[in-house]
């Protein structure tokens, strides 16, 4: 249905599509979503209109090699609705022969029939928001699925012929034990997904979880326990053959998420849908985070852009350091040659001596211990310090 084109030598870009609908807003989630589906048909029409309004002049000679449907819960949409959006994208952009099509799925919204229909229209990667295999933890997170549905969804995906499946897990829940984290990891690996994303629960502002913590009704997990859970996750998944290629992401050989790598490698991408972000030619812009306003702007023939910013060389340098370190590395030659930043030699020696990193061929590589303090290392790289504490306890998980 979606014949790809060969465009050797063209710049490769990604496309993100934000589907804002959820059956129920999760307790911890700060992504833009709505529970009212009454304007769903209008949204699909507007999304197609937004794609049509996008000027191909912005992207130059480019080819799309990743498309990612996120949300929200994109798997609430039928294959026919997803197909309409993909057709609109292909009418405006060139596709590569090896395009990666991802859709995020809630295990409680899929069936063998829906998964098979996604595969028929060209979706070739699924990302399941499992989070836990314990029903009480799923209820705490206000997920709409149970542990049985979680396992069944992964099994059905493979049965339908999907060869690239991601499974999301979450640790660091209030009161969660190390033993439960281990059990979740074991169960995940038993299902044999090609990719696992394991996130520490973050208490984000403007969420019900934040309000509950602020009121004292919920006590968050302490940082030392979170660090232990993170270290367990890294070591266990490494032993099971999953490469730790980003702070919260692990994959079998050849199954890294190519779309997310665009964000982490500072590559270019275009976003459609309410709250979606884009980055092209040194400029970042983002859409209105309101479905009603999004629909109104497009009904008036205007792109629903909320704001944009031009990134300075300093901004680009900051992002390069932070995003490289999220991947557990820092190319020192690139930092020096492109951004004219040379890290203090004593600072680097301190990182190596303290067991946070190793250095080889002008690449600084974080150890598992270094990953647990990735944010602090990034901040100190940017300020080019000459020392680092022996055992900082700050844990960065996303």
Model pLDDT, residue 8:
61
Domains by residue range for the chain, with CATH: 11-264 (3.20.20.70), 328-382 (3.30.56)
d(CA 370, CA 230): 12
d(CA 341, CA 383): 10
Length, in residues, of the chain: 398
The pLDDT of 185-195, averaged and rounded, is 98
Residues 131-161 have pLDDT tens digits of: 999 999 999 999 999 999 999 999 999 999 9
Model pLDDT, residue 56:
72
Query: What's the chain's average pLDDT?
Result: 92
How would residue 226 be classed by pLDDT, with cut points 50, 70 and 90?
very high
Residues 329 and 377 sit within 8 Å (Cβ to Cβ): no
395 pLDDT above the threshold of 70: no
Residues 251-304 have pLDDT tens digits of: 999 999 999 999 999 999 999 999 999 999 999 999 999 999 999 999 999 999
pTM recorded for the entire structure: 0.93
Query: Beta strands 243-246 and 249-251: pairing type?
Result: antiparallel
DSSP secondary structure of 157-216: HHHTT---EEEEEEE--TT--HHHHHHHHHHHHHT--SEEEEEEPP--TTSHHHHHHHTT
Edge-to-edge order in the sheet of strand 277-280: 243-246, 249-251, 195-200, 165-171, 125-131, 95-105, 62-71, 11-19, 269-272, 277-280, 283-287, 305-310
How would residue 6 be classed by pLDDT, with cut points 50, 70 and 90?
low
Residues 350-388 have pLDDT tens digits of: 999 999 999 999 999 999 999 999 999 999 888 744 334
**Three-state secondary structure call for residue 377:** helix
Model pLDDT, residue 390:
43
103 pLDDT above the threshold of 70: yes
389 pLDDT above the threshold of 50: no
Residues 274 and 20 sit within 8 Å (Cβ to Cβ): yes
More confident residue, 392 or 367: 367
Model pLDDT, residue 59:
79
Model pLDDT, residue 61:
83
392 pLDDT above the threshold of 50: no
Write out the H or E segment, with its range, that includes residue 240.
none
Residues 166 and 126 sit within 8 Å (Cβ to Cβ): yes
CA torsion angle 26 32 34 38 (round to 10): -150
Place of tokens 């997920």: 143
Residue 259's CB is within 10 A of a number of other CB atoms, namely 22
Residue whose C-alpha is closest to residue 115's, from 106, 259, 218, 202: 106
Model pLDDT, residue 60:
77
Model pLDDT, residue 357:
97
Residues 11-54 have pLDDT tens digits of: 999 999 999 999 998 989 999 999 999 999 999 999 999 999 99
Model pLDDT, residue 7:
56
190 pLDDT above the threshold of 50: yes
Q: Give how far Cα 279 sits from Cα of 154, 269, 290, 316, Å.
A: 32, 5, 20, 12
Q: Give how far Cα 80 sits from Cα of 18, 83, 156, Å.
A: 17, 5, 20
Residues 331 and 363 sit within 8 Å (Cβ to Cβ): yes
d(CA 52, CA 91): 8
Model pLDDT, residue 4:
53
More confident residue, 131 or 390: 131
Residues 10 and 62 sit within 8 Å (Cβ to Cβ): yes
């Amino acid at each position: 249905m979606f014949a790809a084109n060969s465009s050797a030598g063209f710049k490769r870009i990604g496309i993100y599509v934000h589907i804002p609908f959820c059956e129920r807003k999760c307790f911890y989630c700060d992504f833009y979503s709505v529970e009212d589906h009454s304007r769903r048909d209008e949204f699909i029409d507007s999304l197609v209109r937004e794609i049509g309004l996008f000027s191909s002049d912005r992207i130059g000679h480019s080819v799309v090699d990743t498309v990612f449907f996120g949300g929200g819960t994109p798997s609430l949409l039928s294959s026919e609705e997803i197909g309409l959006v993909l057709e609109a994208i292909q009418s405006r952009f060139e596709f590569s022969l090896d395009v990666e099509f991802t859709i995020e799925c809630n295990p409680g919204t899929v069936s063998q029939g829906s998964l098979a229909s996604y595969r028929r229209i060209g979706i070739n990667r699924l990302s399941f928001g499992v989070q836990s295999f314990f029903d009480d933890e799923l209820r705490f997170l206000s997920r709409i699925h149970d542990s049985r549905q979680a396992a069944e969804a992964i099994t059905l995906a493979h049965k339908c012929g999907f060869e690239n499946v991601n499974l999301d897990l979450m640790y660091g829940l209030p009161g969660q034990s190390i033993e439960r984290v281990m059990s979740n990891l074991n169960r995940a690996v038993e299902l044999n997904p090609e990719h696992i994303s394991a996130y520490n629960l973050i208490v984000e502002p403007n969420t019900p979880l934040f309000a509950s913590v602020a009121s004292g009704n919920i006590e968050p997990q302490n940082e030392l326990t979170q660090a232990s859970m993170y270290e367990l996750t890294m070591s266990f998944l490494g032993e099971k053959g999953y490469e730790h290629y980003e702070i919260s992401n692990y994959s079998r050989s050849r199954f890294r998420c190519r779309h997310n790598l665009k964000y982490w490698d500072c590559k270019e991408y275009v976003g459609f849908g309410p709250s979606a972000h884009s980055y092209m030619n040194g400029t970042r812009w983002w859409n209105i985070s309101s479905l009603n306003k999004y629909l109104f702007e497009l009904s008036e023939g205007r792109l629903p852009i909320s704001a944009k910013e031009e990134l300075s060389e300093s901004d680009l340098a900051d992002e390069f350091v932070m995003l490289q370190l999220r991947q557990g590395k820092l190319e020192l030659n690139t930092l020096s040659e492109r951004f004219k930043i040379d890290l203090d030699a004593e600072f680097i020696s301190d990182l190596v001596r303290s067991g946070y990193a190793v250095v080889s061929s002008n690449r600084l590589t974080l150890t598992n211990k270094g990953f647990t303090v990735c944010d602090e290392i990034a901040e100190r790289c940017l300020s080019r310090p000459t020392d680092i504490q022996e055992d900082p306890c700050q844990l960065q998980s996303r």
